[in-house]
């Protein structure tokens, strides 16, 4: 029975996220696990069960990526994905074990601390071993705008804490089973007051939408080339892919775009290594007086005897100014494990075909470079490439560095028609609320779109079709509490969890 409750939490967590889920499930997702933890002693394994179901249901698509594009046999791809899921499941396991330990020390009052322990576990998942902060609980509410506004104060972790608090209150009601209405009121009232206050404030904030009138406007053009992953390395398709991007760019410019974005690795050549093709892009920018952001691999060379050989490979974004010159280059800092590099290569010997498919892998960039764009004066923008956009602290570094516009370029062709493109877009949208900036996203196969500083999706494309999106964004000059102060709630939760855990150990002794 207890493991069934733990598995139920895993199912509810899975159903909290797109494309199959609904935000409502998130509010009670942790309740079955918390009830099980208060009734049983194997809390770690109960949490592990929740985690295994949770991450299997939300990250199932990784197996496809490794089998189709990594060259792994199906069973090996399943094994590698299972290892990742098992690792991630450790965080809900430790969450459950800590809550159980606190309950042993202080009784059912430990449920009050559960939201903070959960946030501490999410913070750990974000940072340990380079991190994998996919489908954090708070992301489930990005489309519930009154609640999502709380991210402008405490980030996605703040929303996670809020959602988890409702699960904890529901668990406390189940555990107490009292007929005393006042006891229920003591449990429900504080959470209800906080939730209602935040919802009213958030609804008012989103409806006023003051920052949608702040800063210079700019017409953004997003080019979605819709190139299948298998076609990107097909030399016979290179010319057609390039021509399609030029055609879609001219279409965007014709519709009034003042700044055009192509997706990650959009070019079928290396931008700095094919002067003739790069010259075409530069000429288009110069003739239209429109800057163009293009994603391309970038190579640094070294001399080996009498030959030049590739030394380092970067996943980069080049910003071409309206006069055709290069305004700057951003190199991706957070690489995708098992996609752009293989961690623990020697240990994961069974993933040899994946290592061979990736080759030597990419090298991470070192600087959160902010690029100048010359539209309506000189403004500064940031580029998060693909997976980077799920790291709140990195995007915050861009804003602290002066970014007035968040851009993200990605190639989600790897994911096929799974849940991943929808999860990815939702997580990117949360960055706009956190930072109080417009976010514009160009995705090779979708979802491309424009999101305002309150999380409203102003335009978006469907997946797996060529598309051009032209819409207005702005360069706001204001900033949110979160942009100024960062993950203070998350780190406070981690400290509080450590203090409570130490205190509980002394009390039990």
Domains recognised in the chain with CATH numbers: 2-209+487-508 (no CATH), 215-477 (3.60.110.10)
Buried b (16+ CB within 10 A) or exposed e, 414-447: bbbebbbbbbbbbbbbbbbbbbbbbbbbbbbbbb
According to the model, what pLDDT value does residue 108 have? 80
The whole-angstrom separation of Cα 356 and Cα 286 is 41
Give the residue, 350 or 173, on which the prediction is more confident. 173
Q: Which neighbouring-strand residues pair with 382?
A: 406
pTM of the model: 0.93
Give the residue, 184 or 160, on which the prediction is more confident. 160
The whole-angstrom separation of Cα 340 and Cα 441 is 21
Peptide bond into 19 cis (omega under 30): yes
The torsion region of residue 371 among left (phi > 0), alpha (psi -120 to 50) and beta comes to beta
According to the model, what pLDDT value does residue 414 have? 86
Helices 31-39 + 151-176 axis angle, to 10: 50
Task: Please say if the pLDDT value at position 180 is more than 90.
Answer: no
The whole-angstrom separation of Cα 265 and Cα 66 is 19
According to the model, what pLDDT value does residue 307 have? 77
Secondary structure letter of residue 32 according to DSSP = H
Task: Please say if the pLDDT value at position 255 is more than 90.
Answer: yes
Element containing residue 443 per DSSP (H, E): strand 439-443
According to the model, what pLDDT value does residue 503 have? 85
Task: Please say if the pLDDT value at position 344 is more than 90.
Answer: no
Tokens 């006023």 belong to 208
Cα-Cα end-to-end distance for the chain: 30
Residue 44 confidence class, pLDDT cut points 50, 70, 90 = very high
According to the model, what pLDDT value does residue 450 have? 98
Residue 237 confidence class, pLDDT cut points 50, 70, 90 = confident
User: Tokens at residue 111, please?
Assistant: 């449920």
The whole-angstrom separation of Cα 174 and Cα 151 is 29
According to the model, what pLDDT value does residue 9 have? 98
SS3 content of the chain, % helix, strand, coil (to 5): 55, 15, 25
Calculate mean pLDDT across residues 131-153. 97
Buried b (16+ CB within 10 A) or exposed e, 153-163: bbbbbbbbbbb
Residue 179 confidence class, pLDDT cut points 50, 70, 90 = low
Q: Contact, 292 vs 246, CB < 8 A? A: no
According to the model, what pLDDT value does residue 370 have? 96
For residues 48, 49, 52, 56, the Cα torsion angle rounded to the nearest 10 degrees is -160
Q: Which neighbouring-strand residues pair with 217?
A: 474
Task: Please say if the pLDDT value at position 434 is more than 90.
Answer: yes
Task: Please say if the pLDDT value at position 425 is more than 80.
Answer: yes
The whole-angstrom separation of Cα 144 and Cα 326 is 40
Residue 64 confidence class, pLDDT cut points 50, 70, 90 = confident
Calculate mean pLDDT across residues 422-449. 97
- Active-site residue numbers? 264, 332, 386
Give the residue, 307 or 140, on which the prediction is more confident. 140
Strands 292-304 and 259-261: parallel
Residue-level length of the chain:
509
Task: Please say if the pLDDT value at position 358 is more than 90.
Answer: no
Calculate mean pLDDT across residues 267-281. 87
């Amino acid at each position: 029975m207890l493991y069934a409750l733990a598995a139920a939490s895993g199912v509810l967590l899975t159903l909290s996220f797109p494309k199959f889920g609904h935000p409502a499930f998130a509010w009670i997702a942790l309740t079955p696990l918390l009830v099980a933890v208060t009734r049983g002693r194997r809390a770690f394994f109960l949490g592990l069960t929740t985690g295994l179901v949770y991450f299997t249901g939300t990250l199932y698509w990784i197996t496809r990526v490794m089998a189709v594009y990594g060259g792994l046999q199906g069973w090996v791809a399943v094994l590698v994905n299972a290892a990742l899921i098992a690792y991630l499941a450790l965080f809900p396991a430790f969450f459950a074990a800590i809550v159980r330990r606190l309950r042993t020390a202080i009784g059912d009052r430990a449920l009050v601390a559960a939201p903070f322990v959960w946030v501490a576990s999410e913070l750990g998942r974000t940072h340990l071993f380079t991190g994998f902060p996919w489908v954090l609980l708070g992301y489930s509410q990005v489309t519930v705008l009154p609640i999502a506004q709380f991210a402008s104060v405490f980030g996605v972790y703040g929303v996670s804490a809020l959602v988890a608090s409702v699960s904890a209150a529901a668990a406390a009601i189940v555990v107490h089973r009292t007929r005393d209405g006042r006891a229920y009121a003591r449990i429900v009232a504080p959470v209800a007051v906080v939730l209602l206050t935040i919802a009213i404030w958030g609804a008012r904030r989103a409806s006023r939408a003051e920052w949608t009138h702040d800063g210079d406007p700019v017409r953004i053009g997003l080019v979605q080339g819709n190139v299948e992953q298998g076609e990107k390395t097909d030399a016979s398709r290179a010319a057609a892919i390039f021509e399609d991007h030029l055609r879609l760019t001219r279409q965007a410019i014709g519709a009034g775009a003042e700044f055009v974005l192509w997706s990650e690795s959009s070019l079928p050549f290396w931008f700095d290594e094919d002067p003739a093709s790069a010259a075409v892009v530069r000429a288009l920018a110069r003739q239209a007086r429109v800057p163009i952001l293009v994603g391309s691999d970038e190579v640094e060379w070294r001399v080996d005897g009498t030959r030049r050989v590739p030394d380092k490979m970067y996943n980069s974004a080049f910003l071409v100014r309206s006069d055709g010159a290069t305004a700057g280059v951003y190199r991706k800092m957070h690489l995708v494990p098992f996609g752009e590099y293989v961690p623990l290569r020697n240990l994961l010997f069974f993933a040899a075909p994946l290592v061979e498919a990736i080759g030597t892998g990419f090298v991470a960039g070192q600087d959160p470079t902010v690029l100048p764009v010359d539209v309506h004066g000189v403004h500064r923008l940031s580029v998060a490439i693909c997976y980077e956009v799920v790291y709140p602290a990195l995007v915050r570094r861009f804003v602290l560095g002066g970014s007035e516009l968040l851009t993200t370029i990605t190639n989600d062709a790897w994911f096929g028609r799974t849940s991943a493109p929808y999860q990815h877009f939702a997580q990117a949208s949360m960055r706009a609320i956190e930072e109080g900036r417009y976010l514009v996203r160009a995705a090779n196969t979708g979802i491309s779109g424009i999101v305002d500083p309150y999380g409203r999706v102003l335009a978006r494309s469907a997946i797996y079709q060529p598309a051009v999106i032209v819409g207005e964004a702005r360069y706001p000059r204001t900033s949110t509490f979160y942009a100024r102060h960062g993950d203070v709630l998350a780190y406070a939760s981690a400290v509080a969890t450590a203090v409570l855990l130490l205190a509980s150990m002394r009390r039990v002794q």
